[in-house]
């Protein structure tokens, strides 16, 4: 029944108008997509030749929150031992922006797949603006970026017909006379920030049931912070849903200082954002990737020092686009990052490379201490086999709690001095430069001494994993296994140097 369907590509239903089936996302098959592939039946399929991943952009964001499934028909040639994943992309800021889910397939035959909305975690589908297919995996889920061919048909969202008297949802909720921002029938939990100084407890003034014969019961919040709720019971009494509204006072916190000025020379730097360097050409700090903070990014945020920072309000993830840069000779990615005190979250970063050599992106944790600027240098080795041959985008992703578990609630972050850099000297020259560490090699479990006073020492494994930080020239290596490590030494004057040490 077409009334219960939103169709993206199908010869059976009326498709959404104005869809772009081949936006340039840096994919290997760009300009090769064929929306009129005829398998000989006269019924067109959607062909993705030379496929690694592929996006589709709708003409406008669609509220698909009431849909229950997404349907996909997919065909790959016999002998194709690959895995295909799919996600809608939602820019509502409610729930995850995207969650890639495997599309089960048997090579050499059409596979008719129905993915329930619940497979996509806490995605709301409140504002679906794009679709993404990703095939950069072997059949066992390991990485494989070699392109192959995929054919698709009947891509649509749908819901089942409901029986009379079974609906237990709301079509509208108003608080103090205004509809809740971002309200959707299929979303049941809302976090509402109130202006600082608010003392009057907000009241639910309207709760409209989708089925006029369903009943609702409102429980108001007792205070601030507090939670109000609406319990809805279907006409036949068989179904019940509860909507909750959590009130809290917004905390307006932002940095009032700037990070230390960077020290590498311009000729050893590719700068994405910094007042200290000339940045790359063609930069766009706020492309529309469906992120919750789109249109809010501020590249001229002044903490009061006159040195601009890059502000990401309402951040869940954020991209930056620029002219492709050959950063293959660079050794580190530097990021200065600030989040408010009490922000128990994790932020990851990845350059995005479209050269086809090595991984296209690898998200790496950016170590941070809330309430202060964190000056972080991530070695290239932390990004696995990325080549950095043709870096044309950057991605920051904050959809994690501090322990790495998922959390899609937006928060605010501030960035400065985002640049790739290299040390001029070789490793051996570094070890004999003005700043040294001794003894080197050092016995496992012992201490090592830096030859000068330090502000901070960050320790990374040879693979680029952040191990710990020290704040004294005497660095305790207890519980550090045998192996090679990098010490990123920052002096009180703001100078930095990388020292390679061996723990035996």
pLDDT digits (tens, 9 = 90+) for 314-367: 999 999 999 999 999 999 999 999 999 889 999 999 999 999 999 999 999 999
Give the list of residues 6+ apart from residue 178 with CB closer than 8 angstroms, or none: none
pLDDT at site 353: 97
pLDDT > 70: what percent of the chain?
A: 95
Q: Would you call 386 helix, strand, or coil by DSSP? A: coil
pLDDT at 381 over 90: no
pLDDT > 90: what percent of the chain?
A: 73
Architecture in CATH of 2-158: Sandwich (2.60)
pLDDT at 387 over 90: yes
pLDDT at site 245: 97
Render pLDDT for 278-291 as a digit per residue (tens, 0 to 9).
999 999 999 999 99
Q: Would you call 232 helix, strand, or coil by DSSP? A: strand
pLDDT at 293 over 90: yes
pLDDT at site 352: 98
Residue 400: pLDDT band by 50, 70, 90 thresholds?
Answer: very high
Burial class (CB in 10 A: 0-12, 13-18, 19+), 478: exposed
Render pLDDT for 64-109 as a digit per residue (tens, 0 to 9).
999 999 999 999 999 999 999 999 999 999 999 999 999 999 999 9
pLDDT at site 496: 79
pLDDT at site 427: 37
Where in the chain are the domains?
Answer: 2-158, 170-249, 266-421, 427-503
Average pLDDT over residues 114-127: 94
Average pLDDT over residues 295-304: 95
Does residue 225 have a cis bond before it (omega within 30 degrees)? yes
Task: Quote the tokens at residue 477.
Answer: 């290596």
Question: Which is it for strands 240-249 and 189-194: parallel, antiparallel or unpaired?
Answer: parallel
Task: Quote the tokens at residue 391.
Answer: 């870096």
pTM: 0.44
Q: Is 250 left (phi over 0), alpha (psi -120 to 50) or beta?
A: beta
Burial class (CB in 10 A: 0-12, 13-18, 19+), 388: buried
Q: Which of 43-47, 161-165, 268-272, 356-360 has the lowest mean pLDDT?
A: 161-165
pLDDT at 466 over 80: no
pLDDT at 436 over 90: no
Average pLDDT over residues 218-244: 93
- The single residue listed with the structure tokens 């065909």 is 75
pLDDT at site 445: 81
Residue 146: pLDDT band by 50, 70, 90 thresholds?
Answer: very high
pLDDT at site 463: 59
Q: Is residue 430 within a helix (H) or strand (E), and if so which, with residue range?
A: helix 427-431
pLDDT at site 425: 41
**CATH topology match: 2-158 vs 266-421:** yes
Q: How many degrees, rounded to 5, is the angle at CA 31 between CA 28 and CA 35?
A: 110
Render pLDDT for 154-198 as a digit per residue (tens, 0 to 9).
999 998 765 557 888 999 999 999 999 888 888 899 999 888 778
Q: Which CATH number fits domain 266-421: 2.40.160.10, 2.40.37.10, 2.60.120.430, 3.40.50.460?
A: 2.60.120.430
Single out the residue of 441, 446, 445 nearest to residue 485, CA to CA: 441
Residue 251: pLDDT band by 50, 70, 90 thresholds?
Answer: low
Query: Do 239 and 176 touch, CB atoms closer than 8 A?
Result: no
Task: Quote the tokens at residue 474.
Answer: 């005497």
Architecture in CATH of 427-503: Sandwich (2.60)
Q: Which CATH number fits domain 170-249: 2.50.20, 3.30.70, 3.30.360, 2.60.40?
A: 2.60.40
pLDDT at site 468: 86
């Amino acid at each position: 029944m077409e009334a219960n369907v939103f169709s993206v590509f199908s010869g059976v239903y009326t498709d959404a108008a104005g869809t772009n089936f081949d936006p340039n996302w840096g994919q290997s098959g760009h300009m090769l997509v064929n929306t009129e592939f005829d398998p000989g039946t006269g019924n067109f399929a959607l062909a993705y030749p030379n496929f690694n991943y592929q996006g589709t952009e709708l003409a406008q964001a669609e509220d698909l929150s009431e849909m229950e499934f997404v349907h996909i028909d997919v065909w790959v040639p016999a002998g194709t031992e690959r895995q295909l994943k799919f996600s809608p992309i939602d820019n509502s800021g409610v729930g995850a922006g995207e969650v890639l889910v495997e599309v089960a397939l048997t090579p050499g035959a059409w596979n008719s797949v129905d993915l329930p909305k619940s497979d996509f975690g806490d995605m709301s589908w409140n504002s679906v603006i794009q679709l993404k297919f990703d095939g950069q995996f072997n059949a066992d889920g390991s990485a494989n970026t070699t392109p192959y061919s995929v054919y698709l048909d009947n891509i649509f969202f749908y819901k089942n017909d409901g029986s009379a008297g079974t609906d237990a949802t709301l079509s509208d909720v108003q608080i103090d006379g205004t509809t809740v921002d971002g309200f959707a029938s299929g979303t049941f939990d809302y976090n509402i920030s109130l202006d600082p100084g608010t003392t009057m407890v907000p009241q639910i003034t309207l709760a409209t049931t989708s089925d006029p014969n369903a009943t609702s019961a409102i429980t108001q919040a007792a205070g601030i912070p507090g939670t109000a709720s609406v319990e809805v019971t279907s006409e036949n009494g068989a179904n019940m849903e509860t909507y909750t509204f959590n009130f809290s006072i917004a905390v307006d916190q932002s940095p009032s200082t700037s990070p230390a000025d960077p020290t590498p020379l311009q000729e050893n730097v590719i700068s994405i954002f910094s007042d200290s360097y000339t940045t790359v050409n063609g930069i766009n700090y706020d492309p529309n990737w469906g992120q919750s903070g789109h249109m809010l990014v501020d590249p001229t945020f002044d903490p009061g020092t006159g040195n601009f920072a890059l502000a990401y309000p309402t951040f869940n993830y954020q991209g930056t686009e620029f002219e492709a840069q050959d950063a293959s000779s660079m050794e580190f990615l530097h990021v200065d990052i600030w989040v408010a005190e009490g922000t128990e979250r994790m932020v990851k970063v990845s350059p995005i490379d479209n050269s086809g050599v090595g991984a296209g992106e690898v998200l790496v944790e950016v170590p941070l201490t809330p309430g202060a600027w964190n000056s972080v240098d991530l070695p290239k080795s932390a990004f696995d086999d990325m080549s950095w041959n043709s870096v044309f985008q950057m991605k920051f992703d904050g959809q994690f709690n501090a322990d790495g578990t998922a959390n899609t609630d937006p928060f605010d972050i501030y960035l400065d001095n985002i640049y790739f850099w290299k040390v001029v000297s070789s490793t051996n020259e570094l070890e004999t430069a003005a700043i040294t560490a001794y003894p080197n090699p050092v016995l496992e479990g012992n201490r090592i001494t830096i030859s000068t006073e330090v502000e901070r020492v960050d320790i990374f494994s040879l693979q680029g994993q952040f191990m710990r930080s020290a704040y004294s020239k005497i660095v305790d290596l207890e519980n550090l296994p045998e192996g090679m490590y990098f010490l990123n030494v920052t002096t009180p004057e703001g100078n930095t140097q990388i020292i390679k040490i061996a723990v035996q």
